[in-house]
A and B are shown apart, each in its own frame.
Chain A
Amino acid sequence: MIKSGAEIIMEGLVREGVETIFGYPGGANMPIYDAMLEFPSVHHVLTRHEQGAAHMADGYARATGKVGVVMATSGPGATNLVTGIGTAMMDSVPMVCITGQVSASAIGGDAFQEMDVTGITLPITKHNFLITEAGELAEVIKEAFYIARSGRPGPVLIDVCKNAQIEEVEYIVPAELEMPGYQPPNHASDEQMAHAAELIANAKQPVILAGHGVLKSGAMDQLLNFASKTQTPIAMTLLGLGAIPASHVLSLGMMGMHGEACANNAIQKADLLLAFGMRFDDRVTGNLRTYAPRARKIHVEIDPSEVGKNVAADVALIGDLKTVLSDIDPIIPPIDHEEWLDQIAEWKADTKRRDILSWPDDGKLYAAHIVRDLWGATGGEAMLTTDVGQHQMWAAQYYQMERPYRFLTSGGAGTMGYGLPSAIGAWFGDKDRNVWTIVGDGGFQMTMPELGTAIQEGANVKIAILNNGFLGMVRQWQDLFYDKRYSAVQIASPDFTMIAAAYGIPARRITSRDEVEEAIAFANNTPGPVLLEFTVEQEDNVFPMVPAGAALDGMIRRPIWKKQRAKRNE
């Protein structure tokens, strides 16, 4: 059958099961947008900025496990995607980006809206393609989806010259893919597994480090089975939250810079670390020279380039986590670590004592309280996205995730502006639910125009702005490490409730603790987007905190309430 390149693209997307596209039209992708009209099963979401479209596709992908699809035109349209693609790359999110490009004959001539998009995105995509002829498209679309979702997932970009969109060629449904250079590992070697089993059997103080790979691989059941059988506590990375229920007795909560002291202490004292689908980011290790000095390391990873990158592994199990944990199960005997778990219970109790939630009400509105109230109102089961900064860490600490795939946040890239668009994207993944996004006053203003997308699409996205009048995390660093010399951290904001009103979005401002619960109920019971602006304590800090470059157990702890009050009374 003869089809235009644009039709082949749409046909390919439908064959890959695509139902939602996030994007923005322009000169160089108009043939695709024209062809789109003939494919009513695909819903296109018009965003207000291409960065928003990329984050929406990212949120959609993280929430559903499917590949997110985003479209943009050439030049500035494509470069506006860059932050979103980089965010997806750092967090291994499967995404296919289709950008328009000037005609093949004009390439290299600085034509209107021409930019070297495959060059620009080379280091931030898993793979990318430049398509100059319609005949290449059918196969490349299929390859792109396969690459994006398999192995260690990631974003793939297809830059399609305008002539390739218009040209008409015989459409042949691509058969089996031939990609001799791309073979993601699956099973780890038996020899290494035997070696790992030996280390596991001999460990006295093991800790599992559960990363995003647990969720990516869908290995939650296998993880829980392994941990229960070997009585090994589990610390989670920011993106690993939800790998096991936060309420589980073996959960240590989050590790790292703003992780729980019990998790960081356990890692530093451990004699065996089992790194499951995590990459020892500097935010989780602190100073590498002092990191887990006594521990042997077993690293289970699908991407061999992560092994030995930051932390050397004694045993590397290269493969899919779910497969490896299933394979290793028969050779692992049940083990008891009573003494170790007693010690951990003691650390956990200490962590709890210092928790801000154990403080008596002092009439102030703390971000932590709001997150906790939201947790209570949604039974710990909401789909929650965040922006980046203090509120992100409070959300991670106090919204204790009972399920996987519910906490969407920009971890590796730390992209401000991620919260609102990713929430809209996540809602498209499951329209029957409310999606909450917790954002700060700084990050929210980076992608605030997506309020327009939310209202146009009727997205059930509930926005909680924690407004402290500062770029809070930078202010906290200036407070702690720059002698409180505040530089460019005070940020003026508009009246967010009036902004919302202008978009036709119901909104409220909350200034005291006793209004919180009712406001959350109002948001949950009002269909469509709702905005809540919480005026919180301005100079509240996130604790615990491992200062950059310090050892993981060199944390600045949360103060104990009694001591602090005593100090103030002096």
Chain B
Amino acid sequence: MYKTLIATVENKPGVLNRVASLFRRRNFNIDSLNVGRTERPDVSRMTIVMDSHETEARLVEANLYKLVNVLDVQDVTNKAAVLRELALIKVDVPAEKRAEIISLATVFKAKIVDVSADSLIMQITATSDRVDSLVELLRPSGIAEMVRTGHVGMMRGNEEGARYTPGRHADGYTQFKAQDVDPALGI
């Protein structure tokens, strides 16, 4: 199951390294990690997508708070969040098939950002699921190159994600119950 966490961290040198090192050391399975600037110059924002069960997501969250530079972590999985990923896809396409590919792009609200003799670059901004669908449809035509950013996310309106670990927002602490534990873990 995919879990999406949004973490705000102090914008200091080495913070990304600390976060990445933590994931490696604790053997957490990270699907994508996106880091970027925010409205505040001293704060960066990370969107972490992981393919894991509930227990692991909680441990990731709790471990993130062990890092001195981590300000806040919220879990936006299945919440009212806007999640978007940007992908650039270079498709091998001869001139005679170009129209077909372009119409596919239109259906997905993707943009054609470059066209050359036998290829074009398509840009799509959508949820990962939607990008996946487009990629599957393009694959038979031949994808020459692709780059995907992984999700970035933001909660809608005044909504907030779930915060399970007492950290900066101890008020939002929701008890993690033993019955939530994955029995496969054997704990």
Residues of chain A having any CB pair with chain B under 8 Å? 118-119, 122-123, 126-127, 130, 147, 179-183, 185, 189, 191-192, 288-289, 297, 303-305, 307-316, 318
Beyond A305-B59, A312-B187, is A185–B166 a contact (Cβ under 8 Å)?
A: yes
Task: Assess the B68–A316 pair: CB atoms within 8 A.
Answer: no
Q: Which residue of A lies closest to B55 (CB)?
A: A308
Q: Decide yes or no whether B41 CB sits under 8 A from chain A.
A: no
Given contacts A181-B69, A189-B173, 17 further A-B contacts (CB under 8 A): A126-B68, A179-B68, A180-B10, A181-B9, A181-B10, A183-B168, A185-B170, A191-B175, A288-B186, A304-B65, A304-B165, A305-B63, A308-B187, A309-B59, A312-B181, A316-B176, A318-B173
In the complex, how many angstroms separate the beta carbon of A137 from the nearest chain B beta carbon?
Answer: 16
Q: How far is the CA of A53 from the CA of B122 in the complex (A)?
A: 60
Interface residues of chain B: helix, strand, loop or mixed (majority): mixed
* Minimum CB–CB distance for A146 against chain B, Å: 10
Contact in complex: A122, B17 (CB < 8 Å): yes
B21 adjacent to chain A (CB < 8 Å): yes
User: B168–A181 contact, CB under 8 A?
Assistant: yes
CA distance A155 to B12 in the complex (A): 20
In the complex the two chains form, what is the Cα distance from A147 to B68 in whole Å?
9
Binding site for A on B (CB under 8 A): 9-10, 13-14, 17-18, 21, 25, 55, 58-59, 62-63, 65-71, 165-168, 170, 173, 175-178, 181, 186-187
Whether A313 contacts B178 by the Cβ 8 Å rule is yes
Q: Hey, which chain A residues are within 8 Å of B186, CB to CB?
A: 288-289
Centre residue among A182, A304, A312, A315 by max chain B CB count within 10 A = A304
Q: How far is the CA of A384 from the CA of B68 in the complex (A)?
A: 34
Q: Is the CB of A181 within 8 A of B71?
A: yes
B37, chain A: closest CB distance, angstroms: 17
Chain B residues whose C-beta falls within 8 Å of the C-beta of A127 in the assembled complex? 67-68
Does the CB pair B70–A181 fall under 8 Å?
A: yes
Instruction: Give bound CA distance, A72 to B55, whole Å.
Output: 40
**Contact in complex: B71, A318 (CB < 8 Å):** no
Q: How far is the CA of A455 from the CA of B107 in the complex (A)?
A: 82
Find chain A residues with CB under 8 A from B13 CB: 130
Query: A308 contacts which chain B residues (CB < 8 A)?
Result: 55, 58-59, 176, 181, 187
- Chain A residues with Cβ below 8 Å from B25 are 123
B27 to chain A, nearest CB (A): 12
Lowest 10 CB-CB distances: which A-B pairs, in order?
A305-B62, A304-B62, A312-B178, A312-B181, A127-B68, A305-B63, A181-B71, A182-B68, A304-B165, A185-B166
Chain B residues within 8 Å of A314, by CB: 177-178
B66:A305 contact, CB within 8 angstroms: yes
Residues of the B chain whose Cβ atoms lie less than 8 Å from the Cβ of A118: 14
Q: Once bound together, how far apart are the Cα atoms of A351 and B165, in whole Å?
A: 41
Q: Does B17 contact A181, Cβ atoms closer than 8 Å?
A: no
Pairs across A and B, CB under 8 Å, 28 listed: A119-B17, A123-B21, A126-B66, A181-B70, A182-B68, A185-B166, A189-B173, A288-B186, A288-B187, A289-B186, A297-B178, A303-B66, A304-B65, A304-B165, A304-B167, A305-B62, A305-B63, A305-B65, A308-B59, A308-B181, A309-B59, A310-B187, A311-B187, A312-B187, A314-B178, A316-B175, A316-B176, A318-B165
In whole Å, how far is A159's beta carbon from the nearest beta carbon of chain B? 11
Contacts of A303 in B (CB 8 A): 62, 66
B62 in contact with A307 (CB, 8 Å) = yes
Which residues of the other chain, B, contact A313 by a CB distance below 8 angstroms?
Answer: 178
Among residues of B, the one whose C-beta sits closest to the C-beta of A303 is B66
Complex Cα gap A520–B87 (Å): 74
Question: With A and B bound together, what is the CA distance between A526 and B65 in angstroms?
Answer: 50
Identify which of B18, B65, B165, B181 contacts A122 (C-beta below 8 A): B18
A104 to chain B, nearest CB (A): 12
For A309, what are the chain B residues with a Cβ–Cβ distance below 8 Å?
59
Question: How near does chain A come to B174, taking the closest CB pair, in angstroms?
Answer: 10
Closest to B17 in A: A122
The answer for the CA separation of A51 and B24 in the assembled complex, in Å, is 26
B18: chain A residues at CB < 8 Å are 122
Bound Cα distance from A179 to B67, whole angstroms: 11
Quote the shortest CB–CB distance from A123 to chain B (angstroms): 5
Q: How far is the CB of A132 from chain B (nearest CB, A)?
A: 10
Complex: chain B residue closest to A291, CB-CB: B187
Chain A contacts for B63, CB-based, 8 A: 305
Interface centre among A122, A130, A297, by most B CB within 10 Å?
A122
Pair B68/A181 contact, Cβ less than 8 Å: yes
Q: What's the minimum C-beta distance from A11 to chain B, rounded to whole angstroms?
A: 23
B183 to chain A, nearest CB (A): 10
Given A122-B21, A308-B59, A316-B175, A181-B181 contact (CB < 8 Å): no
Give the contacting residue for A318; candidates B17, B55, B166; CB below 8 A.
B166
When C-beta atoms are compared, the residue in chain B nearest to A311 turns out to be B187
User: Across the interface, which residues of A come within 8 angstroms of B178, CB to CB?
Assistant: 297, 312-314
Q: In chain A, what residue has the closest Cβ to B167?
A: A183
- Minimum CB–CB distance from B83 to chain A (whole Å) comes to 25
Q: How far is the CB of B178 from chain A (nearest CB, A)?
A: 4
Chain B residues within an 8 Å CB radius of A185:
166, 170
Distance (whole angstroms) from the CB of B71 to the closest CB of chain A:
5
